[in-house]
């Protein structure tokens, strides 16, 4: 199991796991971090290193899911990351998939491809509605409940 650690150079972690680039970007960290460690980069960007490591390690290793550790993070951290992830999918991933699919659809008369295009459009709309519901209903509700629980302590 390959993991990223706080004392590793951020550049080496990203180079070893290129799929981390968009994940790291969601934390407001851009490429060009030099030889700084993961912890140093997180500290410079006001990012909780433990939360960052938990997210990136969960992302790169499907067998890594530290449930107990996740329960220790404040819900606002998790929701903030989920909001940034939602935005990434809506603004980057879905348009990218749509652009490539559009090319194939217009380059062929294949009815199966048109069906795939219709399926993607339906999926995209369903995902957009789900994200809107999360942003409008679930995230605020969860934050309110979390705040109420914190006040009782």
pLDDT digits (tens, 9 = 90+) for 46-75: 999 999 999 999 999 999 999 999 889 999
- Residue 15 is classified by DSSP as H
Question: Tokens at residue 77, please?
Answer: 């951290």
Q: Which residue has the tokens 């939360």?
A: 51
List residues bridging with 9 in a β-sheet.
37
- pLDDT tens digit string along 94-145? 999 999 999 888 888 888 888 999 999 999 999 999 999 999 999 999 999 9
Show Cβ contacts of residue 104 under 8 Å, excluding neighbours closer than 6 positions. 113
């Amino acid at each position: 199991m390959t993991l990223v650690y706080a004392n590793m150079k951020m550049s080496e972690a990203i180079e070893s796991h290129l799929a981390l680039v968009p994940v790291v970007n969601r934390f407001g960290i851009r490429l060009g971090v030099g030889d700084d460690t993961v912890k140093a980069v997180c500290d410079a960007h006001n990012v909780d290193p433990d939360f960052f490591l938990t997210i990136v390690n969960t992302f790169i290793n499907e067998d890594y899911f530290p449930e107990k550790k996740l329960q220790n993070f404040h819900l606002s951290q998790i929701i903030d990351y989920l909001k940034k992830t939602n935005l990434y999918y809506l603004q980057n991933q879905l348009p990218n998939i749509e652009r490539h699919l559009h090319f194939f659809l217009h380059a062929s008369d294949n009815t199966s491809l048109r069906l795939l295009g219709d399926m993607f459009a339906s999926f995209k709309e369903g995902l957009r509605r789900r994200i809107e519901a999360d942003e409008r209903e679930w995230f605020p509700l969860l934050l309110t409940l979390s705040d109420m629980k914190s006040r009782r302590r």
